[in-house]
Amino acid sequence: MPSPVIRPVRLAGRLLWAAAAVVGLVAIFLALIVVTDGAGSGLAAWVATLGVAIVAALWRGRRRAWRARLVPFLPVVVAAALTASVCIPTVPTARRHPSALPFVATQHWSLATGSRVAVYHYPPANTGTRHPVPLVYLNGGPVRGISVLDHRFLQLLARQGYDVYAYEQAGGGRSDLLPMDQYTISRSVRDLGAFVDRLGRGGGGVDVLGFSSGAVVLTRALADPRVAAHVHRAVLAEPGPMDGPTARITGHKGRPSARGIAPAKTGPRSTRIPRYAVAFGLMQLGLLSPNSGLVGQAEGDNAFAAADLGSDTASAYCARDAHRIPVEDTARNFSFSPAASLRVQKTTKDSPSIAPQLMRSRTPAMLMIAECSSQVRQWATAALAADPAIQRTQYMPGVGHHMWNGLNDNNQRAAATITAFLQDKPAPLPDYPARDDIPAFLRDHK
């Protein structure tokens, strides 16, 4: 008869074995998800894992009494339930576009490239000062809806007499989806060219403001003579890496941001649901393709929530603003496509240098750099060094990556900087860093 000490030891050993079996089966399932690229919403990996588990359980219980033979199946049942949760959608698999905004009409334009994009138009306010050149805004993302915070900034520009147009890039916001393999940085540039043509302002008649990944699209457009010919003036605000060589640069960032010190964002998170935590996590690690069969593009868009961005939002603000970060968007307007965004970023990282083409640019441009930028500084200085047509650089003190954020007078300062350049008026800030300042700017960790 087992002693009182041996019995709990045996029980603990069995529990450890069962836990190890569950962990092992989950690991096999995840490995098969990667191998099969999530085929059949993960069911191919689930069926294969279940088959392996059943065979192993039968082998383990082959010499036991019939009741004891059921014991090895307990870990199988637990693992099957856990892994099945990765295969079951919890949101609609057909695209749900954000509801209409109450303050601006949504138009849909079909571009010559085949993209159908959501367009927002803010006519110049009746202030007496109307600027003849339309202003086009390219938001960041890369494949993301325009936030309410950005819409407010565009309204400010319109109140100052600008005829403002903005469109959500294909797949983002209220724009139509593309097949996954069509999300490329070159397609984004072609869409910009087609949008300007559709606007009817050929011959260099449009000013363009690009922010973050939108500034990447604009930078690459300046290197393409066919698109650049339609751009009157360009504003590159906090650009990401413009090509593969730039994306591989490592270096310091700006002054400390609020990443890691701001309160955690509240609200639902898809990344707390096993299916989307696995899908988005493996995509982020590069182990699952954006076009995988695990989670379709539309389902991923529907599932992803603002809180899933986590510290990415905090990184767009200075550390001093960590406890007063504004709400950038509403839950009903927020839209982000994680798979399409990763796909666009990958095509940028895989692209050759555009510096030789950018060196031939003649479109007047301005670069805006935030003091507390979360971007690698060389991403901005690489564009400054390569583009001889960048006429001024404005180092924006007291703001993070999202420079027009509604705090203090940040919107007004950003607008003053942009409009001064577009009107070819004196800059409100020193031209810094200029090209000759780049080595010292990087050395001093500005």
Beta strand 107-110 with 116-122 is antiparallel
Q: Summarize pLDDT for 277-325 with one digit per residue, the tens.
A: 999 999 999 999 999 999 999 999 999 999 998 788 999 999 999 999 9
Model-level pTM?
Answer: 0.92
Q: Summarize pLDDT for 103-119 with one digit per residue, the tens.
A: 999 999 999 999 999 99
Q: Is the pLDDT score of 203 beyond 60? A: no
> CA geometry: angle at 296 spanning 295 and 297, to 5°?
120
Burial 245-273 (b: 16+ CB within 10 A, else e): ebbeeeeebbbebbbeebeebeeebbbeb
Residues 6+ apart with CB under 8 A from 153: 404, 411, 414, 415
Q: Summarize pLDDT for 128-142 with one digit per residue, the tens.
A: 788 889 999 999 999
Q: Summarize pLDDT for 394-407 with one digit per residue, the tens.
A: 999 999 999 999 99
Q: Is the pLDDT score of 5 beyond 70? A: no
Q: Hey, is 43 helix, strand or coil?
A: helix
By the 8 A CB rule, do 282 and 291 touch?
no
Which two three-digit tokens encode residue 338?
A: 């994680």
Distance CA 357, CA 353 (A): 9
Q: Which of 117, 114, 112 is closest to 141 using CA atoms?
A: 117
Distance CA 247, CA 376 (A): 9
Q: What one-character DSSP code corresponds to residue 309?
A: G
Give me the sign of the Cα torsion angle 83, 89, 91, 93. positive
Name the helix (H) or strand (E) containing 257.
none
Higher-pLDDT residue of 183, 443: 183
Q: How far is CA 404 from the centre of its chain?
A: 18
Distance CA 71, CA 62 (A): 11
Give me the residue spans of the domains in the chain.
6-84, 107-262+316-443
Q: Hey, is 9 helix, strand or coil?
A: helix
pLDDT at 68: 55
Architecture of the 107-262+316-443 domain = 3-Layer(aba) Sandwich (3.40)
pLDDT at 204: 56
Q: Summarize pLDDT for 27-48 with one digit per residue, the tens.
A: 999 999 999 999 999 999 999 9
Order of all β-strands in the sheet with 116-122: 107-110, 116-122, 164-168, 135-138, 206-211, 231-237, 365-372, 390-400
> Which residues are paired to 138 by β-bridges?
210
pLDDT at 1: 46
With 0-12 CB in 10 A as exposed, 13-18 as middle and 19+ as buried, what is 101?
middle
Q: Hey, is 107 helix, strand or coil?
A: strand
List, in sequence order, every beta strand (DSSP E) within 71-153. Answer: 107-110, 116-122, 135-138
Q: What one-character DSSP code corresponds to residue 269?
A: -
Q: Summarize pLDDT for 67-96 with one digit per residue, the tens.
A: 656 667 788 888 889 999 999 999 999 999
Q: Hey, is 416 helix, strand or coil?
A: helix
Q: Which of 399, 377, 391 is closest to 446 using CA atoms?
A: 377
DSSP codes joined into one string, 355-414: HHHHTT--S-EEEEEEEE--S-HHHHHHHHHH-TTEEEEEEEEEEESS---SSTTHHHHH
By the 8 A CB rule, do 376 and 249 touch?
yes
pLDDT at 67: 61
